[in-house]
Amino acid sequence: MAKMAKIIIDGKTYEVDSSKNLLETILSLKLNLQYFCWHPAMGSVGACRQCAVKKYRDENDKAGKLFMACMEPVVDGMRVSIEDPEAKEFRAGVIEWLMTNHPHDCPVCDEGGECHLQDMTLMSGHNYRRFRYKKRTYRNQYLGPFLHHEMNRCIQCYRCVRFYRDYAGGDDLNVFGVHSSVYFGRHEDGVLENEFAGNLVEVCPTGVFTDNTLFQHYTRKWDLTSAPSVCVHCGVGCNTLAGERYGKLRRILTRYNGQVNGYFLCDRGRFGYEFVNSEKRIRKPMLRLSGENRLSEADEETAITEISAIIKSSRKVMGIGSPRASLEANFTLRSLVSERNFYWGVPEQEFSLLTKEMNILRQGSIRTPSLREIEKCDVVVILGEDLTNTAPMIALAVRQSVRQVPVQSATPYKIPHWQDAAVRELVQDEKGPVFVATPYATKLDSVARTFRGSADEIARLGYAIAGAISSDAPKADNLNEEVCVLSESISKALNKAERPLIIAGQSLKSEAIVNAAANIAYAMRKAGKNVELCYTVPECNSMGMVMMGGKALDQAFHAVEKEAMDTLIIMENDLFRRDEKQAVDRFLKRFKNIIVLDYIENATTERATAIIPVGSFAESDGTFVNNEGRAQRFYQVFVPNKEIKESWRWVRNIMVTSGMKEFSRWKNLLDYTQALIKEMPYFTGIDTITPPPGFRIAGRKIPREPYRYSGRTAMHADKTVHEPKPPEDVDSPMSFTMEGYRGQPPSSLIPFFWSPGWNSAQAINKYQIEVGGPLHGGDPGKRLIEPLPNAKPSYFTDVPKAFAPREGEWMLVPVYHIFGSDELSVHSPGVRELVPKPYIMLSPDDAARLQVTSDSELELGIGGQVERLPVKINLGLRPGLAGYPVTLPGMSVVRFPVSVKISGVKK
């Protein structure tokens, strides 16, 4: 429990936490005070002089002195005044100085309406420009497809460089120049390299860095219809706010969740949303009418009758579910085709590895941390995961954990940890222990001690670490010098740690790695140590998929070989991304009818005999389970054309029409969720992570639109002057209008952050119990996986053999890309620009031996086919290994492990 202190602010006494600074305390008390440079996740530097308050020595001190609230520790008996006229004048004065050079830009500035500088200026009371001289100007830079740069608007708060460099570990953004003309940008024009650069949109309190994707279809914050959502671009499950106008999704912002992503998102999550507006969206049902070979558009009723007829006349219907569809959608399809005929559209290998991860967490005694808890870990061991590309926000969290140990050195000097500049000065380059074992060099290497090797060698290192911690753990034999030394020092670091963490996953398709990570944790537990274990998962509902359990794609392939089936229903899944083309082709040929429910055209929809347009995350409701086992609800943002419906609603309507009348009871999402829980009790509680559809506050719904939402009587007037009735939402207590309850909604229903006087994202302060802490009413979501304290799992023993390269053969290792490996985000034009071209990754030694350079092309025999791929050289890769970028557009799908021969070289 933190030490409490009594302080007096403007004559009123408050009891507060004494570990915080005065500014945080004031904001936590929901009082208003201006600030710029302080950021709740980054601490104080006292750079902007905006947060001045009066501090008095004692009750007799009437004059007091000005202090910066963000630099003042809270002490018992402290007396301060925010309202003191001198303090107010000082704050207004500081703004007036900042404004001397500020451009006359608000009307054309994308920050306008959610600008912290506007808010603070208004709060300070400064309103007329007295300065009669000219303004300083700057040239802007091209910073890539995601960020728009307008340097004239800068107020030199230094937040951007502090976030980019200190927090996110980037090094291509900096401050240049001297005295009154400092410049925040790159050394030259170019794409910002850091994967978290998009956060500058929210970190920068002005319009210097704004969202370039929003710029292309600009809408003010007050005109967006928004809903709480969950990112669909990886398995971390970051919380997002998605906003729509005129039927198009306009942008994604961070939805603060104190347990998950906090104040930030990765760029894939923030800018990947534009697939929702893609030209390739499926908007109408497509049917093959009798006697025709082509698909043609049909209306909803025809589609339902036709498809129901197909299903009724089929002897056997097989259903293929998807880890990118919600629990409810998968469950409904499973109800239609029966459990026996329901298969998950992921390869057996991935499915069983994920199942293994889940079982280790569910049946063992090891806890898996939330994203925010990862930041608090002091020693991190990463086995086989290129986190920046497979689970970006976990990489960002690991970067914060690096500071846990060094920051402690500030304590003896009595420097509070929120004193960011002072602590950094003291810590210098010192980093806490992080170990990264991956086949190729990764971005996290810059803060870690690294190990390079094949998946098996990484697993052997894992086993060696476990062996070094506890003598009864199975050991790897024939360890080389490097592994011996490294495993010793890792085990020492782990033993010393207060809160150690092991991170692994299935991305290298290696069971041994998943097992080895568990063994380290088990060994730590045997040795009586505290330890946590985090597994990454590839997709937004991968964990939900394995929790539901069932059979994988390979079994579906076998099933059709054995028994004739005539109809296949594939839901939100492109099978051609899942397995080799020939295998999928052979499978699909077995069916007379292929009904595909999806939102975007892909190789699978091309093979469909009927296509049903379903809602993407922005057009549907549902529940996802993230890698931590946290069930999170996402909400529909807007209602597109009437044919686009949630997968589960379509499937249910088809069921009802084809005679399964009992399903007509399922009316809103809650009915589906409750039916799911009834059948799978381990999902108990997911129906209460958010209030039921009937929930009202003072008899009112929660509006998705702010009360300034505008243009309602003109936006549809080009089509009809009779304003259409707004759509109704039967699935949630939210309305698609601006009417409803104006106060703060429950934490799982926050459609946007806003508070009087706080129009920017900084309004989050008002939604938290205390600054940086949980939201009022607790952070949303429910953890479904908790460790069993008394479980005594036994060690895994499958220690792999050491890897020996074979002459003339290369072992492929999967390589991941934050922009490129994800199915949906590559349809966004901005992301698309950053997707690498197909390539093969070679080690410098092999490249030298083959006499190839980065301009050369290699001819490889993969799966009976010959592929020509340009070479990329990765300094970390070991000889005998070749990196193969998986699911990158233009690359074929292969089954790992696989070795290839090089059949030709073009220099």
DSSP state at residue 72: P
276 binds, among ligand SF4, ligand FES, other proteins, none (CB under 5 to 8 A by kind): none
Any contact of residue 37 with ligand FES (CB under 6 A)? yes
**Residue 270 identity:** R
Any contact of residue 153 with ligand SF4 (CB under 6 A)? yes
372 close to 400: Cβ distance less than 8 angstroms:
no
Q: Which stretch binds ligand FES (CB under 6 A): 40-48, 212-220, 337-345, 476-484?
A: 40-48
SS3 letters across 761-825: HHHHHHHECCCCCCECCCCCCEECCCCCCCCCCCCCCCCCCCCCCCCCEEEEEEECCCCCCCCCH
Any contact of residue 479 with ligand SF4 (CB under 6 A)? no
Any contact of residue 535 with ligand SF4 (CB under 6 A)? no
Question: Closest Cα to residue 451, out of 535, 384, 377, 374?
Answer: 384
Task: Give me the residues paired with residue 319 across strands.
Answer: 342, 569
Give the total residue count for the chain: 907
Please state, in angstroms and as integers, the Cα–Cα distance from residue 12 to each residue in 21, 55, 80, 81, 397, following that order: 18, 14, 10, 10, 38
Task: Give me the residues paired with residue 597 across strands.
Answer: 571, 612
Q: Which residues ranging from 191 to 250 are in contact with ligand SF4 (CB under 6 A)? A: 204-208, 231, 233-234, 236-238
Q: Which of 8, 31, 41, 47 binds ligand FES (CB under 6 A)?
A: 47
2 binds, among ligand SF4, other proteins, ligand FES, none (CB under 5 to 8 A by kind): none
Q: Which of 42, 70, 584, 835 binds ligand FES (CB under 6 A)?
A: 70
Q: Which residues ranging from 507 to 566 are in contact with ligand FES (CB under 6 A)? A: none
Q: Which residues ranging from 13 to 32 are in contact with ligand FES (CB under 6 A)? A: 23
Q: Which stretch binds ligand SF4 (CB under 6 A): 136-144, 297-305, 385-393, 720-728?
A: 385-393
Nearer to ligand FES, 36 or 810 (CB): 36
Nearer to ligand SF4, 136 or 492 (CB): 136
Q: Which of 8, 29, 66, 106 binds ligand SF4 (CB under 6 A)?
A: 106
115 binds, among other proteins, ligand FES, ligand SF4, none (CB under 5 to 8 A by kind): ligand SF4
Q: Which stretch binds ligand SF4 (CB under 6 A): 105-113, 451-459, 737-745, 859-867?
A: 105-113
Q: Which of 14, 18, 49, 89 binds ligand FES (CB under 6 A)?
A: 49
In whole angstroms, how close is the CB of 181 to ligand FES at the nearest point? 20
Instruction: Show the DSSP H helices in 139-237 as ranges.
Output: 159-161, 200-203, 212-216
Q: Which stretch binds ligand FES (CB under 6 A): 34-42, 275-283, 526-534, 736-744?
A: 34-42
In whole angstroms, how close is the CB of 109 to ligand SF4 at the nearest point? 3
DSSP three-state, residue 372: helix
Nearer to other proteins, 104 or 906 (CB): 104
Task: Give me the residues paired with residue 569 across strands.
Answer: 319, 595
Question: Closest Cα to residue 274, out of 209, 198, 214, 210?
Answer: 214
50 binds, among ligand FES, other proteins, ligand SF4, none (CB under 5 to 8 A by kind): ligand FES
Strands 296-297 and 286-287: antiparallel
Any contact of residue 168 with ligand SF4 (CB under 6 A)? no
Q: Which of 157, 336, 360, 894 binds ligand SF4 (CB under 6 A)?
A: 157
Which helix (H) or strand (E) segment holds residue 545: the answer is helix 542-548
Round to whole Å and give the CA distance between 763 and 868. Answer: 53
Residue 181 tokens read as 């003309």
In whole angstroms, how close is the CB of 404 to ligand FES at the nearest point? 25
Any contact of residue 42 with ligand FES (CB under 6 A)? no
**Residue 171 identity:** D
Nearer to ligand FES, 5 or 69 (CB): 69
Any contact of residue 730 with other proteins (CB under 8 A)? no
Q: Which of 52, 78, 87, 117 binds ligand SF4 (CB under 6 A)?
A: 117
Round to whole Å and give the CA distance between 203 and 184. Answer: 13
759 close to 114: Cβ distance less than 8 angstroms:
yes
Give per-residue burial for 817-855: e unless 16+ CB within 10 Å, then b: bbbbbbbbbbbbebbbebbeebbbbbbeebbeeeebeee
Any contact of residue 178 with other proteins (CB under 8 A)? yes
Q: Which stretch binds other proteins (CB under 8 A): 54-62, 235-243, 691-699, 711-719?
A: 711-719
DSSP state at residue 167: I
Nearer to ligand FES, 95 or 548 (CB): 95
Any contact of residue 707 with other proteins (CB under 8 A)? no
220 binds, among other proteins, ligand FES, ligand SF4, none (CB under 5 to 8 A by kind): other proteins
Instruction: Report the side by side order of strands in the sheet with 79-81.
Output: 12-17, 4-9, 79-81, 52-56, 65-68
Please state, in angstroms and as integers, the Cα–Cα distance from residue 610 to each residue in 599, 648, 763, following that order: 13, 17, 47
- The CB density around residue 771, as the number of other CB atoms within 10 Å, is 20
CA 218 distance to own-chain centroid: 24
Any contact of residue 269 with ligand SF4 (CB under 6 A)? yes
Strands 65-68 and 12-17: unpaired
Any contact of residue 102 with ligand SF4 (CB under 6 A)? yes
DSSP three-state, residue 521: helix
Which helix (H) or strand (E) segment holds residue 525: the answer is helix 511-526
Rounded (5°) CA angle 199-201-204: 100
Phi/psi of residue 595, each to 5°? -100, 120
Residue 47 tokens read as 């750079």
Q: Which of 181, 363, 471, 854 binds other proteins (CB under 8 A)?
A: 181
Round to whole Å and give the CA distance between 894 and 883. Answer: 12
Round to whole Å and give the CA distance between 198 and 212. Answer: 10
Nearer to ligand FES, 260 or 761 (CB): 761
155 binds, among ligand FES, ligand SF4, other proteins, none (CB under 5 to 8 A by kind): ligand SF4
Any contact of residue 622 with ligand FES (CB under 6 A)? no
Any contact of residue 103 with other proteins (CB under 8 A)? yes
Nearer to ligand FES, 40 or 145 (CB): 40
Nearer to ligand SF4, 117 or 608 (CB): 117
Round to whole Å and give the CA distance between 523 and 364. Answer: 12
Q: Which residues ranging from 859 to 898 are in contact with ligand SF4 (CB under 6 A)? A: none
Nearer to ligand SF4, 115 or 608 (CB): 115
Round to whole Å and give the CA distance between 520 and 873. Answer: 32
Question: Closest Cα to residue 518, out of 798, 897, 790?
Answer: 798
52 close to 90: Cβ distance less than 8 angstroms:
yes
In whole angstroms, how close is the CB of 161 to ligand SF4 at the nearest point? 7
668 binds, among other proteins, ligand FES, ligand SF4, none (CB under 5 to 8 A by kind): none
Cis amide linkage into residue 500, ω under 30° from 0: no
Any contact of residue 111 with ligand SF4 (CB under 6 A)? yes
Which single residue is written with the structure tokens 């409750």? Answer: 674
751 close to 702: Cβ distance less than 8 angstroms:
yes
Nearer to ligand SF4, 266 or 785 (CB): 266
Q: Which residues ranging from 148 to 167 are in contact with other proteins (CB under 8 A)? A: 150, 152-153
177 binds, among ligand SF4, other proteins, ligand FES, none (CB under 5 to 8 A by kind): other proteins
Question: Which residue ranges make up the site for ligand SF4 (CB under 6 A)?
Answer: 102, 105-107, 109, 111-112, 115, 117-118, 153-160, 184, 204-208, 231, 233-234, 236-238, 261, 265-266, 268-269, 391-393
Question: Which residue ranges make up the site for other proteins (CB under 8 A)?
Answer: 103-108, 112-113, 134-140, 150, 152-153, 176-179, 181, 183, 215, 217-220, 222-223, 246, 708, 710-715, 717-718, 721
Question: Which residue ranges make up the site for ligand FES (CB under 6 A)?
Answer: 23, 35-38, 46-51, 68, 70
